[in-house]
Amino acid sequence: MIAVKARRATGNGFFYFAVLLIIVFSLFPFYWVLATSFENNQELSLGTRGLWPAVWTLQSYVTLFHQDNFLIPIANSALVAACTTVISLFAGVLTAYALVRLVPRARVAVLSFILATAFFPVIAMVGPLFFAYKDLDLLNNYLALIVTYLIYALPIGVWMLVSIFSQIPKDLEEAGMVDGATTRQILWRILLPLAVPGVFTAAILSFILCWNDFVFALSFMTSPDRYTAPLAIVNLGQSQYQVFYNIIDAGVVVTTIPIVVLVLLAQRRIVAGLSAGSLKG
């Protein structure tokens, strides 16, 4: 990691005003969504009358979970994101190990290929993959999303793991080799335990990126019981006469909470991982 050399704040009012502005701009919309989600339908139809809702009820959450069965899309999202994350970490660890230790000469070529796929326009994948999944009878199947989401998870995973593995000194592995450990043992017993914090970060990033997908779920999942959370949100709270933002916002809150928890758990590492992934090219 880079040495953090922050400069001391000059401590004037303008500076702290800017800081406050950043925090308010980032978080106030969340407050608005949260407050709206606690309004009931009658309150909502009266329009906005203040910063603080007159009534706080759980009515929209009851509707969300009972009528709209929102737990199903949440579970779908979690299942798909978790499967993709596990597959991408497994493939990513093998690839990174091969590129760092076994065939370092292939590193530039393989990493360039992986980077190129990361830049591939996601929308250009939709048509051909739709066709392929239709022929393979995989439309509306979790597998279609699990495989496709690797385009989000695998490139950044490999990129981060390569940067992590490169920082681990060879000594321990060489000691293992002298003691007669096989490559597999060296990888799983020696290298991987040392890389755990980095692998953890890659897992969180991968999970977030999969959780956030919309276009593939929209294109490949046709029945509501297979919708992921973002896709379900788009279909929430619609009626002929009114858009029920309280119910939509309840869905937004429920979908956002897992992400907030992950971000707060690993904010330092995510920031370091993002910048390592993008600056060490």
Partner 1 sequence: MATEASSGFEVLELRRPPLWWRLRSRTMAGAFLAPTIVLLLAIAGFPLAYNLFNSFRHLVLTEPGTERFVALQNYVTLVTSGQFQQPFVHTFLFTVVSVAIEFALGLGMALIMHHQFRGRGLVRAAILVPWAVPTVVSGMLWKNFFDPSSGFIDWAGAAIHLPTANLAWLNGVWTSWAVILVADAWKNTPFLALILLAGLQVIPDDLYEQGRIDGAGVLRRFWYVTMPLLKPAILVALIFRTLSSFLIFDVIYVITGGGPGNATETLSYLNWQAFLVDTDFGYGGAISVALIIVAVIIALIYMRVLRVET
245-274 residues in contact with partner 1 (CB under 8 A) are 245, 248-249, 252, 255-256, 259-260, 262-264, 267, 270-271, 274
Q: Which CB atom, from 45 or from 67, has the smaller least distance to partner 1?
A: 45
Min. distance of Cβ 133 from partner 1 in angstroms? 11
* Separation CA 109–CA 103 (nearest Å): 11
Min. distance of Cβ 256 from partner 1 in angstroms? 5
Kindly indicate which of the ranges 54-62, 66-74, 92-100, 192-200 contains the residues binding partner 1, using the contact rule CB under 8 A: 92-100
Kindly indicate which of the ranges 62-70, 84-92, 135-143, 192-200 contains the residues binding partner 1, using the contact rule CB under 8 A: 84-92
* Separation CA 40–CA 61 (nearest Å): 10
Min. distance of Cβ 169 from partner 1 in angstroms? 13
* Separation CA 278–CA 280 (nearest Å): 6
Ranges within 17-76 binding partner 1 (CB under 8 A): 18-19, 22-23, 25-27, 29-30, 32-33, 36, 44-45, 47-50
Task: Say if residues 152 and 125 touch (Cβ distance below 8 Å).
Answer: no
Residue 238 phi, psi (nearest 5): -95, 130
Q: Which of 76, 230, 247, 250 is the binder for partner 1 (CB under 8 A)?
A: 230
* Separation CA 20–CA 26 (nearest Å): 10
Ranges within 126-155 binding partner 1 (CB under 8 A): 126-132, 147-148, 150-151, 154-155
* Separation CA 197–CA 270 (nearest Å): 11
Q: Bridge-partner residues for 238, per DSSP? A: 243
Question: Phi-psi region for residue 161, left (φ > 0), alpha (ψ -120 to 50) or beta?
Answer: alpha
Q: Is the dihedral of CA 254, 255, 260, 262 positive or negative?
A: positive
Which residues make Cβ contacts (< 8 Å) with residue 78, sequence separation at least 6?
A: 211, 258
111 binds partner 1 (CB under 8 A): no
Q: Which CB atom, from 67 or from 182, has the smaller least distance to partner 1?
A: 182
Task: Say if residues 163 and 197 touch (Cβ distance below 8 Å).
Answer: no
The total of other beta-carbon atoms located within 10 Å of residue 1's CB is 9
Min. distance of Cβ 100 from partner 1 in angstroms? 11
Ranges within 207-226 binding partner 1 (CB under 8 A): 208, 211-215, 218-219
